[in-house]
Structures are given as structure tokens and as C-alpha cells.
Amino acid sequence: MDKIILQRMEFFGYHGVFPEENKLGQRFYVDATLMFNIQPAGVSDNLEKTVNYAEAYYTIRKIVEEKPFKLIEALAEHIATSLLDTYTIINEIQIRVTKPHPPFDIHFEGVTVEIQRKRASG
């Protein structure tokens, strides 16, 4: 399946279980892979036949920056659901949310949650 990939988008959000995370906030990285047939857009050169990735970016940004979640799992789920609801052309979606600096004393590149969702068959 064809893909549009929005890679390593950086946002500032207030997600976490601990009160200081909700108060101070931190950086989050989001990757979104949108899977659908891109050929109609490629053949026609028509934006109406694809997903406007600038609009998708702003949808993701609004979710990450405006509504706090305790779990990055919930954040990823909300992003996936919102994009699938908004863009009915998308058949499948993969969302990765990385929290590069979780609040515990371990030194690594962060923690990432990755989910993959398919459009429900009607």
C-alpha cells in the first residue's frame, strides 16, 4: 500500500502520570504513516485526491499541544482515531509517539509507543 509519512514532528505537550509533567511539559516526537492508494493523486496532480499533509500536521499538533493525556498510548490512539475520522481515504495508519525524556533516572533515547490501526470494514 502507498504511504505518506510525516516523520519526527516535534511538539511541546503536557502528557504524563506525574503532576510535574502536566505542569512543566516536555517535548514529544510523533511519526504518522498514512496508508492509502496515492495513485489517483499522482495521476491527476490533484490535492483533492490525497491527504493534505499540512492539514494532517496541524490536526496532530492540536491534539498533542492542547489536550493532556496521562499515557502516550492514549495520545497515540487519539491521533490515530482523529486522522481516520477526518480522512476517510486512509485505509490504515501507524502512529509513533516518543517521549524523549521520561521522568525517571534511566539514560536512553526515550520511550516510544507505536500503534497501527485499520479502518473498520463497513
Set 3, 49, 99, 118: catalytic member = 99
* Fold type of domain 3-118: GTP Cyclohydrolase I, domain 2 (3.30.1130)
Assess contact for 101 and 28: CB atoms under 8 A. no
- Mean pLDDT of all residues in 10-26: 94
* Residue range 67-77, pLDDT digits in tens: 999 999 999 99
Neighbours of 26 (CB within 10 A): 17
Q: What is the pLDDT of the chain when averaged over all its residues?
A: 94
Query: Active-site residue 99, yes or no?
Result: yes
- Mean pLDDT of all residues in 9-30: 95
Share of the chain above pLDDT 70, in %: 99
> What are the structural domain ranges in the chain?
3-118
Please give the span between the terminal C-alpha atoms of the chain, in angstroms, as a whole number: 20
How confident is residue 122, by pLDDT bands cut at 50, 70 and 90?
Answer: low
- Mean pLDDT of all residues in 40-66: 97
The more confident residue out of 6 and 106 is: 6
